[in-house]
Chains A and B, each alone.
Chain A
Amino acid sequence: EAGVTQFPSHSVIEKGQTVTLRCDPISGHDNLYWYRRVMGKEIKFLLHFVKESKQDESGMPNNRFLAERTGGTYSTLKVQPAELEDSGVYFCASSQSGRAFGEQFFGPGTRLTVL
């Protein structure tokens, strides 16, 4: 069974440009999470989808970030316009629903560099 995949693995853009990150969760996983790690800091939660609905987006830093999950399958995270402080590694994770606690499986991350 394929794990969580993320694309691209690495993106280098200039300040002010737009970047879209994609996450494909494990098939059948209703929960999808986005996290981010900026240099020197801990991995921080951004938002949580249950199927196509945003369950919790309390971790989104500002309105330059837009996440979508079309049809409850893959998800995209768009940053527009990108700022220097957006540089970091963006992780996606997915888990099954219907359980008291579901293990979150992480993708390899997208390393974003904003110049």
Chain B
Amino acid sequence: QKEVEQDPGPLSVPEGAIVSLNCTYSNSAFQYFMWYRQYSRKGPELLMYTYSSGNKEDGRFTAQVDKSSKYISLFIRDSQPSDSATYLCAIAYSNSGYALNFGKGTSLLVTP
């Protein structure tokens, strides 16, 4: 069983739509939950991170963690064409030196 499962998509939505991206994980020892955004030919860039169950909001982005279900989500409100990228969930725990365990990434296309 993989540590982190993520539907790779691709996902195509019209501009202005609400986007929901999801991951599940298997190891309950994980403490930190992150979402990275990656544009083509670039390295991943951290969007948000959290370490507790519940919601964390940053502008149009909301990260949600449910530790009891081992489920994490990223919601993008009022999606823009500039949001078109690959979104990667990543999970870590301190005993591993915060080495990141990534999902495969979901490719998102927001069309004007």
Contact = CB atoms under 8 A, between A and B. Distances in A.
Interface of A: 4, 31, 33, 35, 41-45, 48, 50, 55-56, 59, 91, 93, 95, 100-109
Contacts of A93: 43, 100
Taking each of B43, B94, B103, B104, which has the highest tally of chain A beta carbons within 10 Å of its own beta carbon? B43
Interface of B: 2, 4, 6, 32, 36, 41-46, 49, 51, 88, 92, 94, 96-105
Contacts of B4: 42
B43 A101 contact: no
Nearest to A45: B99
Given A42-B4, A101-B32, A108 B43 contact: yes
A51 to B, nearest CB: 13
A43 B99 contact: no
Contact of B105 (A4, A42, A95): A42
B44 A42 contact: no
B97 A104 contact: no
15 contacts: A33-B100, A42-B102, A43-B44, A43-B88, A43-B105, A48-B97, A56-B97, A93-B100, A103-B49, A104-B100, A105-B46, A106-B43, A106-B44, A106-B45, A108-B41
Nearest to A101: B32
Contacts of A50: 97
Nearest to A35: B100
Contacts of B98: 31, 95, 101-102, 104
